[in-house]
Amino acid sequence: MSTATYARVRVNATSANIGPGFDVLGLCLDSPADVIEVTTDPGEVEVRGRVATSTIPRERRANCATVALAAALKGDPKRVEDSLRWGVRLTKGIPVAGGLGGSAASAVGGALAGWALRGPEGGRLHACRQRDAVANDQILTAALVGEAVAAGAAHLDNVAPALLGGLVAVASPRVPQGPPVVARLPIAPWWLATVTPLQQVSTAHARVLLPKTVPLVDSVAATARSVLLTHALACGDSRLLSEVLEDPLATPARSHLFPWLAVAQAAAVEAGAPALVISGSGPTVVALLQTRAHARSVARQTAAAIVSTGVDATSSIHRVGGGARIEAFE
């Protein structure tokens, strides 16, 4: 079987934390998405798309997609070296530093493309077969290397749902350098209302603001709410959701970054949302609703409230999305 020379991968946006589940829970959206194309022919690193910015590195050792691509080829030094000359095109659909897992999507795309193209077994059957747990561990591990370049540390809560889709829980491995610990969780067919203020917040900066220690009562509250949150998300229980979405850990430490947050939360709840939470490190905020019409109404009213504070914002609605997929392979 001849070695493949081209792969195109699509990876959806994600929302991490979902209130109290800091660094533990992540949810995949059905849009927007990043598209990563890799060809083994010599070429440049090209970044394009409506949200592409000059802050996205074009240098291979600083770009999370190309770093993850090389990490996925680990074990074949010549292939890794060759990949430094491959053509890579990154079409950005996910806003940069917007709280929707943009760097994680690019890293997962690079890792999945590398997994598909690696080694002599890199044929159509290898890329198109259903990935098993071992393959997903390999892809996640490579993607984390790329995510660390962009975010300053390796965080699974965006990377895992970007690859696997749906609602995902993650934990640190029991032993150092162990495989990623992840599980897909059941989730009802929620609609998501997202509002993105015209503001950028880097994950690295947002994490610097977090306390090194937290009171036991806050730790217990976060744990309890996270457990109940997974039940509410699985059962479609909006009443329970309204009781458990408050985040006692990260949001209080970061709230000064979002002076419009209280106004936005009040508007969302007035419009009937169970609650409104920061997505990842922000600034995007998200609410979970039962119907399309309700999600659209909450999104619009929340965006209007933020705009009333003098900050521009855009709104959209989504369903829960599927994981990364290989769109083309030859």
Same domain, 325 and 286: no
Domain count, the chain: 2
Gyration radius (Cα) of the chain, Å: 19
- What pLDDT score was predicted for residue 131? 76
Same domain, 117 and 226: no
Tell me whether residue 1 is in a domain: no
Amino acid at 13: A
Amino acid at 324: A
> Distance between CA 82 and CA 60 in Å, rounded?
12
> Distance between CA 77 and CA 106 in Å, rounded?
23
Same domain, 64 and 76: yes
For the chain, residues with pLDDT lower than 70 are 1-3, 52, 75, 119-130
Tell me whether residue 125 is in a domain: yes
- What pLDDT score was predicted for residue 268? 98
b/e code 1-14 from CB counts within 10 Å (16+ = b): eeebebbbbbbbbb
> pTM score > 0.85 for this model?
yes
* 45 contacts: CB under 8 Å, gap ≥ 6: 58, 59, 60, 63, 66, 88, 90
Tell me whether residue 51 is in a domain: yes
The CATH number linked to 147 is: 3.30.230.10
Tell me whether residue 66 is in a domain: yes
Per-state percent for the chain, helix, strand, coil, to nearest 5: 40, 25, 35
Range of the structural domain that residue 169 is part of = 6-186+320-329
Structure tokens at 228: 């109940």
